[in-house]
Amino acid sequence: MLPVPQQPLPYPREFCTTGLCIPSRNYMVDTGAKIDSILELIEQGKYFTINRARQYGKTTTLRLLEQALLAKGTIAARISFEGIDDEFFETSEAFCSSILDQIATVLERKSIPNAEAWRNDSIDSFKSLAAYIALMCQNKKVVLIIDEVDKTSNNFIFLKFLGMLRESYLRRDDVPTFQSVILAGVYDIKNVKIKLINSGQYQLQDGEKRINSPWNIAIDFKVDMSFSTLEIATMLNEYEADYHTGMDIESISKELRYYTNGYPFLVSKLCLIIHEDLEKDWTVSGVQNAVKELIYSTNTLFDDLSKNLQSYPELKQIMYDIIIDGKVFDYNSMNTIIELGLTFGFLMRKGNFVIVGNKIFETILYNYFIQMEQIKGILPEDISSGVLEDGKLNMRLCLEKFAQHYYELYSSQNEKFLEKECRLLFLTYLKPFLNGKGFAVVESETRNSERTDILVLFGKEQFIVELKIWRGDNAHEKAYRQLAGYLESKAKDTGYLLTFDFRKNRSDSFSAEWVDYENKRIFDVVAV
């Protein structure tokens, strides 16, 4: 039999940056390996929470997981608390009957046999709910998936529901219950009782431990939900099969990963910008231009970033300390503020430390802190005074003018202020030249208290600037070597070294000169 020709869709596929991704409509990353890892946890009967930052692909992952479970003959009931009326949580009676109704409804849509039997209006307590679930799960594999669980995380009725699931889980060898329960949201639901206690909605019973959680049966979910370079390539392969652009998929995938660290929304958004706004410029330069377009745009993810920093001042301070001051923070799961930063995607673990989640967030936050600090006097009086000429950025002149401004305005400041603020001062000075035309990326891997590598992109040009604090002639020689090595890794011949000299016996004026070092040309500026 000849294969039936595939009819073209009435609409082209596109990169999805809002809501659920659907394979027939959207270009999608192949996340099969992630789904297999989650299926393995379910097969082992694990209960867990998928808590990831907003727009991190949780709902799409759950839909693919549901389909995989149904294909294996497992009953998968995927419900959501998004848009649920408050009446749902007013009483135990209302909650118990309503959640059964939700389960029945989603199973009916999937044509699951006997789905209607899940409805039972007579269930009016969590004890009777547990018994009825046991009846419905007898001799069956049933997985309960609850999306948007954050909508109820401060609700006492939901806390009682978690407690019921916990008790059923502990008795699962004797009494049937769900094979697995998966809760998905931004926040880790394991801390729900602590939140309720602090809000006054929950009173500890005699002898009850404050840290006891009704969800302490859940395992840590360790599946990496970010997109790897190879996974990004699977999406680009789909796109290339349709458009035949001739792109170098490997290099484009690496560049997308470099800026986004695999954050799903950011990956798809950059691809969408290249496709729709940059005339399908699928080159490394095209990715960089898409990054520029993105960081100067507004979207709900960036709005949430700003709102969360305002809502959590301690988190804002940690982000400032890391980004501006170059401080290093150890990872500590008991540090609730660090955990919050990881939850929002602002931070990520790297070994035993935490770093900024991705370079796009880092650039957005740099601009945010520059705006919030409102440093006076360091902004150039005339940004067109030779630094910008014929649509190009003269980095040599920019550094010279910065050093001159720095000497005139800040040489009298105390050393502690200067060491703390020097990075911010330079980036504040640089920002007006870049607005709408370029951006600066800080290399997190090289940041420490004495050194910062900054990649400045302006038009089609790249400038590598290393910032250091003067620690003596030997350290300055080492700075040449470090910068030369970094230039080599970026296939560049020219770099810029900006050193802040806080010595009491320092020179009375800044110095600037070109230095040839190991076949590299370095413009060496010492600001005093």
Pick the residue with more confidence: 500 or 264?
A: 264
Query: Which structure tokens are listed for 500?
Result: 């802040």
Q: Which DSSP string corresponds to 262-324? A: T-HHHHHHHHHHHHHHSTT--SHHHHHHHHHHHHTS--HHHHHHHHHHHH-HHHHHHHHHHHT
511 beta partners: 526
pLDDT in tens, 329-345: 999 877 888 988 998 99
Residue 64, pLDDT above cutoff 80: yes
Cα–Cα dist 429/282, whole Å? 32
What's the pLDDT band for 417 if we cut at 50, 70, 90? low
pLDDT in tens, 66-86: 999 999 999 999 999 887 777
User: What's the half-sphere exposure (Cβ side, CA atoms, 13 Å) at 394?
Assistant: 14
> What is the helix (H) or strand (E) element at residue 422, kind and residue range?
helix 415-434
pLDDT over 90, % of the chain: 59
Sign of CA dihedral 266, 34, 192, 351: negative
Distance of CA 385 to the CA centre of its chain: 38
Pick the residue with more confidence: 407 or 223?
A: 223
What does the pLDDT read at residue 412?
58
Burial of 113 (0-12, 13-18, 19+ CB in 10 A): exposed
84-88, 250-254, 277-281, 449-453: the lowest-pLDDT one: 449-453
CA 200, 163, 175 angle in degrees (round to 5)? 170
What does the pLDDT read at residue 211?
42
Query: Which structure tokens are listed for 501?
Result: 């000299």
> What is the helix (H) or strand (E) element at residue 77, kind and residue range?
strand 75-80
What does the pLDDT read at residue 271?
98
What does the pLDDT read at residue 449?
44
Where do we find the tokens 């080492």? 478
Residue 237's nearest CA partner among 30, 12, 14 is 30
Query: Which structure tokens are listed for 96?
Result: 């118990």
What's the pLDDT band for 437 if we cut at 50, 70, 90? confident
Cα–Cα dist 295/441, whole Å? 11
What does the pLDDT read at residue 36?
97
| DSSP label at residue 334 | T
> What is the helix (H) or strand (E) element at residue 150, kind and residue range?
none
pLDDT in tens, 494-517: 999 999 888 777 666 789 999 999
Q: Which whole number is the average pLDDT over 191-201?
A: 50
What does the pLDDT read at residue 96?
93
Helix axes 58-71, 32-43, angle to 10 degrees: 60
What does the pLDDT read at residue 10?
54
pLDDT in tens, 123-132: 999 999 999 9
| DSSP label at residue 418 | H
pLDDT in tens, 103-114: 999 999 999 999
Pick the residue with more confidence: 367 or 290?
A: 290
| DSSP label at residue 189 | G
199-208, 235-244, 490-499: the lowest-pLDDT one: 199-208
What does the pLDDT read at residue 264?
97
Task: Using DSSP bridges, classify how beta strands 329-330 and 353-356 pair: parallel, antiparallel or unpaired.
Answer: antiparallel
Spell out the residues 6+ positions from residue 174 whose beta carbon is closer than 8 angstroms to its own: none
Residue 147's nearest CA partner among 85, 92, 82 is 82
What does the pLDDT read at residue 192?
52
What does the pLDDT read at residue 507?
67
Task: For the beta carbon of residue 168, count every other beta carbon within 10 angstroms.
Answer: 22
pLDDT in tens, 273-325: 999 999 999 999 999 999 999 999 989 999 999 899 999 999 999 998 888 77
* 478 neighbors 484 (Cβ within 8 angstroms): no
184-188, 264-268, 356-360: the lowest-pLDDT one: 184-188
Task: Using DSSP bridges, classify how beta strands 26-27 and 14-15 pair: parallel, antiparallel or unpaired.
Answer: parallel
Cα–Cα dist 432/434, whole Å? 5
Spell out the residues 6+ positions from residue 292 whose beta carbon is closer than 8 angstroms to its own: 437, 438, 439, 457
What's the pLDDT band for 173 if we cut at 50, 70, 90? very high
256-260, 423-427, 518-522: the lowest-pLDDT one: 423-427
Residue 453, pLDDT above cutoff 70: yes
Pick the residue with more confidence: 443 or 51?
A: 51
CA 161, 163, 167 angle in degrees (round to 5)? 120
What does the pLDDT read at residue 5?
47
Burial of 334 (0-12, 13-18, 19+ CB in 10 A): exposed
Pick the residue with more confidence: 173 or 158?
A: 173
Burial of 244 (0-12, 13-18, 19+ CB in 10 A): exposed
Residue 51's nearest CA partner among 264, 214, 221, 167 is 221
* 306 neighbors 273 (Cβ within 8 angstroms): no
pTM for the model stands at: 0.87
The distance between the two most distant Cα atoms of the chain, rounded to a whole number of Å, is 89
* 346 neighbors 317 (Cβ within 8 angstroms): no
Residue 137, pLDDT above cutoff 90: yes
Q: Which whole number is the average pLDDT over 455-473?
A: 91
Q: Whole-number mean pLDDT of the chain?
A: 86
Residue 260, pLDDT above cutoff 70: yes
Cα–Cα dist 422/93, whole Å? 61
> What is the helix (H) or strand (E) element at residue 516, kind and residue range?
strand 511-517
What's the pLDDT band for 444 if we cut at 50, 70, 90? low
